[in-house]
Structure 1
């Protein structure tokens, strides 16, 4: 069974972000985050504290995905299944990129049944191992099946840990319109340094940072910042529907808020979503994205997952 690993590389931005000042101090088991930045030319500050154990345990087991390790697990599972058939055996074929094998049996009439059973077992166990590791198999229009971090679960399982951040934002943005709330959070995240790693296609998960790690390390790539933005919007605007949009070498958030004719948007399952790109350093307002991606969003040539 063959898997393709896909992660996202951001192209150079059009505009430079404002200068963000960040400090992180620790005392009495708490980590104190302090930000100074600007939104629409106005000086802003944001402060919150997170318990040190929460930071330390936040997706501590998340690792880069290793196809070779999963193939070893699958091969073990297939061999255990074949033990039920003493007159048949599996012969593994050399292949660095896929789990390949042949079935040898004295009873040729048994081969179709075995092939079907092994194929189904491979699918089921692959899904199990991906879920355990917080990964997900996604089908994209331009590349077919790929394996990506399970952004949906990573977002959902981050909500509790992000409560202090959401509370600080809520106190600052109370009675603020939904679109302005999204704009404020997105502008803040755009000004966090972009995590520029070489050869991201071969990084197999090293490029993705769970939400608290983005804040602790004060940097993140497109999908990491998008998941963080989605989690914060989910807590502040729980009735607003969200989706993560996958584009060639990029990812961004789609937010189901009212759109205008001038907005960049995506149609997902018959509904219009406002596009929001928190990656930075380009300071794109909600409804504005890079020209590099408009052709894909307008033509529907993108992947997505509802969040």
Structure 2
């Protein structure tokens, strides 16, 4: 589960752009939970979130058990924001164990390392909340930071953005400050590079996600 994430360094080497090589690269990227957008190769959160939902299922169940089934969607987001913000901050390397990981830790690796950065924490909380269809999650890319936003009705004072005619309330799970939903922190000045709506389908939620009884784990290594 942990070892699937990451692309071989060879994917960044020059190649002959024939049909066979292009198809092979696409398969390697998909298998590695990566994507290519033009010349940019990066982790594919819309692949990673469904893939790691099996691992985060107990965390989602614990959230519901702790807050109760009558808890509001906002209460659940606030609860998980505090949980993820309390994970110590650390910057992952771009490479680990002979793979390119682009400075992102998948959810199981976070609990091995016991720290994470903004990208990794956004991935973790997204893969927990993805178990519930009501949560529509937007990734908000700043120049050197990643925020997230949840579709909903903003409270007074909440900062939000409008995407495709819908309001998304901003949040920053990075920590260590326990910023509440609607307060994205000082890094957000109203501008962002791009936004991306996470694509988690009903089919993703129907597929049984299993957590291996025996997961081979390696610490992050340069």
Q: TM-score range by the shorter chain?
A: 0.7 to 0.9
- Mapping for residues 22-101 of structure 1, pairs under 5 Å: 58-63=1-6, 66=9, 68-71=10-13, 74-75=15-16
What whole-Å deviation, never above 9, does each CA across 1:68-113 have from its counterpart, x for those lacking one?
A: 44536x44xx5xxxxxxxxxxxxxxxxxxxxxxxxxxxxxxxxxxx
Aligned to 1:184: 79
State TM-score, norm by structure 2: 0.76
CA distance in 1 between counterparts of 2:54 and 2:100 reads 27
Report whether the alignment pairs 1:129 with 2:28: yes
Aligned to 2:118: 222
- Mapping for residues 127-276 of structure 1, pairs under 5 Å: 127-138=26-37, 146-174=40-68, 175-197=70-92, 204-205=100-101, 207-235=103-131, 237-276=132-171
CA distance in 1 between counterparts of 2:186 and 2:127 reads 26
Provide structure 1 residue ranges, at least 5 long, that are not aligned to the other structure: 1-57, 79-117, 140-144
Contact 1:257 1:274 in 2 (8 A): yes
Report whether the alignment pairs 1:304 with 2:200: no
* 1:161–1:196 distance in 2 versus 1, CA, 3 Å: closer
Shift of 1:265: 1.2
User: Which of these residues, 172, 179, 187, is aligned with residue 292 of structure 1?
Assistant: 187
- Give the SS at the match of 1:292: coil
Aligned to 1:15: none
Contact 2:138 2:196 in 1 (8 A): yes
State TM-score, norm by structure 1: 0.57
- Give the SS at the match of 1:253: strand
CA distance in 2 between counterparts of 1:126 and 1:206 reads 17
CA distance in 2 between counterparts of 1:182 and 1:151 reads 19
Shift of 1:305: 3.4
What whole-Å deviation, never above 9, does each CA across 1:137-163 have from its counterpart, x for those lacking one?
A: 247xxxxx5322111111111111222
* 1:61–1:204 distance in 2 versus 1, CA, 3 Å: closer
- Residue-pair matches, total: 195
- Give the SS at the match of 1:172: helix
CA distance in 2 between counterparts of 1:272 and 1:138 reads 26
